[in-house]
Amino acid sequence: MNIENTTALVTGGNRGIGAAFVLALLEAGAKKVYACCRDPNAPDLEIDSDDERVELVALDVTDEARINELAANIDDVQLLVNNAGYFAGTTLMTAPDMSAVRREMDTNFFGPLMLSRAFAPQMAANGGGAIVNVLSAAAIVPIPNMGGYSPSKFAARAMGVSLRAELADQGTQVHNLIVGSVDTRMASHVAGAKETPATIAKAGLRAVKKNLPEVDTDSFAVAVRAAQARDPALQERQLAAMLKMETISTGR
Ligand SMILES: NC(=O)c1ccc[n+]([C@@H]2O[C@H](COP(=O)([O-])OP(=O)(O)OC[C@H]3O[C@@H](n4cnc5c(N)ncnc54)[C@H](OP(=O)(O)O)[C@@H]3O)[C@@H](O)[C@H]2O)c1
């Protein structure tokens, strides 16, 4: 799929990897980018909302009524970037109740599914288009110290594979991005070297242009995939050991 002259919608477009997607889309010649954020009036938007091709849109991805209202009010979306994500920083057993895990599933799985369902019809009408799911290395190996985050990203990865099959006949590409450790607010508790958000956005747009179903966006994601292939039992033990570490580090 060619990015030039397309209209894209990016969730969580106000900061981090989402903001990098907005910028990368503009640089690649997108006609319009709906930069969705929970609060378009927030003082700390990381995007240049002065660009006339950027339209700030208020959207909480857990709000089904708002998603459907948005899809009813615009009809030109061709590229959907399911980027918004939530990491509660708890574990499955130590969380005091189910609210953190439910919020992770709501944001990271049900949100992208609701958006895909709402926008797929107009993507079909607009020539097919593409859906990009910003996932995680935690979607290919369970990471115990990430609580419900890892299961939510596993579910979203499976969703992406199913949607790819379900939407093939209407010509909609679906891409799962396996993302390592990136220098954003979400990974602010992680020490060591991290990728730039721009690297992830660039890899994501490359996946769209070349129609690559699943892409490891950075060297950290590649290393996780390689360790899984080499010795999955050793990798599971190493990841379990992270539960007892005081500092989480990329080790680089
Ligand atoms: N950073 C990493 O190391 C890393 C690694 C693997 C995967 N990822 C994935 O990359 C994606 C982007 O995260 P990031 O690293 O850029 O972290 P971030 O800087 O914390 O950004 C997260 C974004 O998601 C938005 N968001 C959270 N809940 C939302 C909701 N209910 N509705 C709408 N927007 C919501 C946030 O909005 P607010 O600003 O309003 O909170 C923010 O725009 C996520 O899917 C994350 O899981 C990140």
Query: Tens digits of per-residue pLDDT, 104-115?
Result: 999 999 999 999
Question: Is the predicted pLDDT of residue 49 greater than 80, yes or no?
Answer: no
pLDDT of residue 222: 97
Residues in Cβ contact with 26 at an 8 Å cutoff, skipping those fewer than 6 apart: 33, 51, 53, 54
Q: How far apart are CA 233 and CA 252, in angstroms?
A: 23
Q: Is the CB of 86 under 6 A from ligand 1?
A: yes
Residue 173: Cβ within 10 Å count: 21
pLDDT of residue 250: 83
How does the average pLDDT of the chain come out, rounded?
A: 96
In this predicted structure, the answer to whether residue 73 has a pLDDT above a threshold of 90 is yes
Count of CB atoms situated within 10 Å of the CB of 135:
28
Q: What is the pLDDT of residues 126-146, one digit of tens each?
A: 999 999 999 999 999 999 999
Residue 97 — very low, low, confident or very high, per pLDDT cuts 50/70/90?
A: very high
Q: What pLDDT is stored for residue 248 in this prediction?
A: 85
Pocket test for ligand 1, best of 46, 149, 184 (most atoms within 8 A of CB): 184
Secondary element (H or E) of residue 214:
strand 214-216
3-class secondary structure, 16: helix
pLDDT average, residue stretch 66-87: 98
Residue whose CA lies nearest to ligand 1 atom number 8: 136
**Quick one: pLDDT at residue 145?**
95
Beta carbon of 17 within 6 Å of any ligand 1 atom: yes
- Look up the CATH architecture of domain 7-249: 3-Layer(aba) Sandwich (3.40)
User: Is 181 near ligand 1, meaning CB less than 6 Å away?
Assistant: yes
Is residue 77 within 8 Å of 122, Cβ to Cβ?
yes
Alpha helices in the chain, H assignment, sequence order? 16-27, 64-73, 99-105, 111-125, 149-166, 197-210, 219-230, 232-241
Residue ranges covered by each domain of the chain: 7-249
Where residue 174 falls among pLDDT bands split at 50, 70, 90?
very high
pLDDT band at 182 (very low <50, low <70, confident <90, very high): very high
Query: What's the pLDDT score for residue 208?
Result: 98
Q: Determine the Cα angle at 213 with ends 10 and 169, to 5°.
A: 85
Q: Is the CB of 185 under 6 A from ligand 1?
A: yes
Sheet with 32-37, edge to edge strand ranges: 54-58, 32-37, 7-10, 79-82, 130-134, 173-178, 214-216
Average pLDDT value for residue range 220-228: 96
pTM over 0.95? The answer is: yes
Rounded average pLDDT over 187-204: 94
- Whether the predicted pLDDT of 246 surpasses 80: yes
Q: Would you call 206 exposed, middle or buried from its count of C-beta atoms within 10 A (0-12, 13-18, 19+)?
A: middle
DSSP 109: I
Across 75-92, average pLDDT: 98
Beta carbons within 10 angstroms of residue 41's beta carbon:
8
pLDDT of residue 22: 98
pLDDT greater at residue 202 or residue 249? 202
Query: What does the pLDDT read at residue 247?
Result: 86
Query: Residue 248 carries which DSSP code?
Result: E
Q: How far is CA 183 from the centre of its chain?
A: 15
CA of 230 to the centre of ligand 1 (A): 30
Q: In the predicted model, is pLDDT for residue 50 greater than 90?
A: no
Contacts of 104 (CB under 8 A, 6+ apart): 86, 87, 88, 147, 148, 149, 151, 152
Residue 149 Cβ < 6 Å to ligand 1: no
Q: Which phi and psi (to 5°) does residue 26 adopt?
A: -65, -45
What distances in angstroms separate CA 6 from CA 34, 157, 174, 176, 222, one per listed residue?
A: 11, 25, 16, 20, 30
